[in-house]
Structure 1
Amino acid sequence: METDFKKNQCLISHEDLIVYQKAFESAMKIFELSKKFPMEERYSLTDQIRRSSRSVCANLAETWGKRRYKAAFIAKLSDSEGEAAETQVWLKFAVNCHYIDIEKARELYGIYNQILSGLVKMIHNPEQWLL
């Protein structure tokens, strides 16, 4: 994700951020995996893991729109960071409930660690992203 952290005039929208691309791809993988969760989880674990994984992306989109205001930019990045960490918790529940194969979950958990790392770098270096 190193290219996310260089001042780059080619970044036109939030969708150009590698951290966003990883989050979106991971949310789609979670969506596909969660289709196999039992029906009794529909309004609990299934809904929660889908919501938090999608919220990482949605908050990044909002973050991009708040680049004029440092405090708002950082606050939305923090929201995205929280949703990414929450998604990791739901992944652990899904593994412990035997809904997701441990290897698939490890892969996704690792990607969310990368996402979290990218978000933290943006939080600590907001100036290069601000308008």
Structure 2
Amino acid sequence: MKNQEIILLIAGLVLSGFGIYIKIYEPAWVSNTEDPGGGLIGAGVVLILTSLRNRHYKKKGIITEDERDYRIAEKASYRSFQIIFILQGFLFFILGISDIQLTAQSVIGVLFAASGIAYIGSFYWYRNKM
């Protein structure tokens, strides 16, 4: 295994373990154990599966990346930044003119999910387009 795959695997195990710790022991310093525990477990599982998939592809000799993917990732990152920047401005405007009081955790969670969806959508859009 390459160093990158080992680091992904270890990071996934650490994140999943920390998420399981939060879910089981519910430490007093964590105000809500459901959201962070589930998020950490999910992120850890994704990292573990990604490292195992890369290892499997390498053993089979399957090439999953080429030079085109780097250009697609650049374009997708820029497009997702544009989408999130506009969404943040609109959200800031709506929350500023109205008297809606939201917790920071819920707003950041929505923006985090929107940034991931925007990047994935942009990546596949550009991949099919190029």
Structure exhibiting the larger radius of gyration computed from Cα positions:
2
Question: Normalising TM by the smaller chain, what interval?
Answer: 0.3 to 0.5
Q: TM-score, normalised by structure 1?
A: 0.34
Q: TM-score, normalised by structure 2?
A: 0.34
Q: Which has the higher contact order (CA 8 A, sep 6+)?
A: 1
